[in-house]
Amino acid sequence: MQKRIYLCLAHMSGEEQKFIQEAFDTNWVVPLGPNVNGFEADLEAFVGEGKSVVALSAGTAAVHLALVACGVQAGDEVICQSFTFCASANPIKYLGATPIFVDSEPDTWNMSPDLLAEAIEERIAKTGRKPKAIIPVYLYGMPAKMDEIMAVADRYDIPVIEDAAEGFGSRFDGQVCGTFGRYGVLSFNGNKMITTSGGGALICPDVQSKQEVMFYATQAREAYPYYQHEHIGYNYRMSNICASIGRGQMTVAEAHIAHHKHICALYKELLADVEGVTLHENPSPRYDSNYWLCTILLDPSLRVQGEESAYAEQVEGAVGGAAGVTHCAASLRTDCEPNSNVEAMRIALDRAGIEARPLWKPMHRQPVYADSPAYVNGVSEWLFARGLCLPSGPCVSDEDVRYIVENLKSAILK
């Protein structure tokens, strides 16, 4: 039976069982509990900078609560990076606000500081109001140009919510990603750097902010001997069992980060002589990506076996969609998709038992956000047409990387 190499799967350290057993022995099989407190303390020590951390049910919940904490309401506008997963943008719509999408710059693939400034100026001119928040993303673990982004945000006094869901442990100028802005979002989904099986966290500026976020995360109950609600709250706290897994994962967090960096270095070595394939790397020593996923760009001139029929068959389910239900696609193709050689390479690797995925489709090209304002320069669409994510998780071995590169080379037509 052919081995399947997945893009990025969590790896258990063995320490998790101790914390899980403790939760069962003490009957803390509920949201909140000593392991939640312990996990938050571990995270606070990890991110540093005097920050406080709230453990939540998902990274998406963290984005949502950060927006609530920034006072975002219906009718407001929030600037969001376009080149990202939908969870960065969807919570804006949960609150009845409007996402304003900003395109990327080519060095990090993250939010363009120049376009950010342009977007803010134009929104003020058009609406008479500033956007209520800015959400840059650390795409695939790569730090954004946070010095420039923060300078723009500070100029207009707009709070920054860093989506570091993919950037756990990444650093910019030596500072942990997620600690530059007012709030920072972490994810512990099953495919992230560390996992709690599902879950996330919000990095807060201080204890008082943490307490307010926890208030909204636990259904916003007032201090009465009965249930009194004066605000809309949410059921977003992490369970003690999930936090048990997280505490075990924290014991190997640095090892996981080191492994991802090692895998990227091996890809660099093995792909060095492959023309038409470019590995995305840190632009300079200021950037220290965790390389959550290793990503490559295929030159449009590169010929790949089977590209003439790359989009000929209906995809079953969705790429990366094993955890949910998908609608049957209305058509085989859309007006914004990866080049045929990229899709052909994905198919070729899939047939060899290797999971690969396209880059995120820009939010400003998603049908659900067709009416949202966007400030674009073409970078994210250019990257989406050419990019592919390769396996890089803790379960990916050196032997696996060599096998992946061998199959990638074999798919290229001479």
Q: Band of the pLDDT at 14, cuts 50, 70, 90?
A: confident
Between 230-239, 264-273, 310-319, the lowest mean confidence (pLDDT) is in 310-319
The answer to whether residue 77 is domain-embedded is yes
Determine contact, residues 83/105, Cβ cutoff 8 Å: no
Per-residue model confidence (pLDDT) at position 200: 98
Could you tell me which of 321, 295, 310, 311 has the C-alpha nearest to residue 387?
Answer: 295
The answer to whether residue 8 is domain-embedded is no
The answer to whether residue 10 is domain-embedded is no
Do 248 and 295 fall within a single domain? no
Cα separation, 398 vs 401, in Å, equals: 5
Give the SS3 label for residue 294: strand
All residues at 6 or more sequence positions from 300 whose CB lies less than 8 Å from its CB, including other chains:
339, 341, 385, 386
The answer to whether residue 119 is domain-embedded is yes
Asked whether the predicted pLDDT for residue 24 surpasses 70, the reply is: no
Cα separation, 258 vs 266, in Å, equals: 12
List C-alpha distances in Å: 323 to 6, 164, 207, 317, 320: 14, 22, 35, 10, 8
Token pair, residue 277, equals 């394939």
User: pTM (2 decimals)?
Assistant: 0.94
Asked whether the predicted pLDDT for residue 25 surpasses 70, the reply is: no
Do 224 and 359 fall within a single domain? no
Residue 117 one-letter amino acid: A
- Which stretches does DSSP call E strand in 200-293? 200-204, 277-279, 287-288
Query: Last residue of some domain: 252, 286, 318?
Result: 252
> Each residue of 86-125: pLDDT tens digit?
999 999 999 999 999 999 999 999 999 999 999 999 999 9
Cα separation, 70 vs 183, in Å, equals: 9
Do 329 and 394 fall within a single domain? yes
Cα separation, 333 vs 85, in Å, equals: 20
Do 258 and 245 fall within a single domain? no
Query: Last residue of some domain: 186, 218, 252?
Result: 252
Q: Band of the pLDDT at 68, cuts 50, 70, 90?
A: very high
Percent of the chain surpassing pLDDT 70: 95
Q: What is the DSSP string of 100-159?
A: EEE-B-TTTSSB-HHHHHHHHHHHHHHHSS--SEEE-B-GGG----HHHHHHHHHHHT--
Question: C-alpha 124: how far from its chain's center?
Answer: 29
Determine contact, residues 235/56, Cβ cutoff 8 Å: no
Average pLDDT score over the chain = 94
Do 187 and 287 fall within a single domain? no
Total count of domains within the chain: 2
What is the average pLDDT across 254-276? 97
The answer to whether residue 4 is domain-embedded is no
Token pair, residue 268, equals 């660099």
Could you tell me which of 60, 264, 56 has the C-alpha nearest to residue 142?
Answer: 264
What's the CATH code of the domain at 279? 3.90.1150.10
The answer to whether residue 1 is domain-embedded is no
What's the CATH code of the domain at 87? 3.40.640.10
Which of the pair, 317 or 371, is modelled with greater confidence?
A: 371
Do 67 and 38 fall within a single domain? yes
Cα separation, 12 vs 8, in Å, equals: 13
> Each residue of 278-315: pLDDT tens digit?
999 999 999 999 999 999 999 999 999 999 999 988 88
Q: Band of the pLDDT at 323, cuts 50, 70, 90?
A: low
Do 136 and 33 fall within a single domain? yes
The answer to whether residue 317 is domain-embedded is yes
Token pair, residue 251, equals 């014991």
Do 166 and 225 fall within a single domain? yes
Query: Last residue of some domain: 189, 218, 252?
Result: 252
Determine contact, residues 83/103, Cβ cutoff 8 Å: yes
Do 264 and 341 fall within a single domain? yes
Give the SS3 label for residue 408: helix
Determine contact, residues 185/161, Cβ cutoff 8 Å: yes
Q: Which domain holds residue 125?
A: 16-252
The answer to whether residue 305 is domain-embedded is yes
Q: Is 174 left (phi over 0), alpha (psi -120 to 50) or beta?
A: left
List C-alpha distances in Å: 130 to 30, 94, 121, 205, 371: 41, 20, 8, 22, 19
Do 240 and 270 fall within a single domain? no
Do 130 and 32 fall within a single domain? yes
Do 279 and 241 fall within a single domain? no
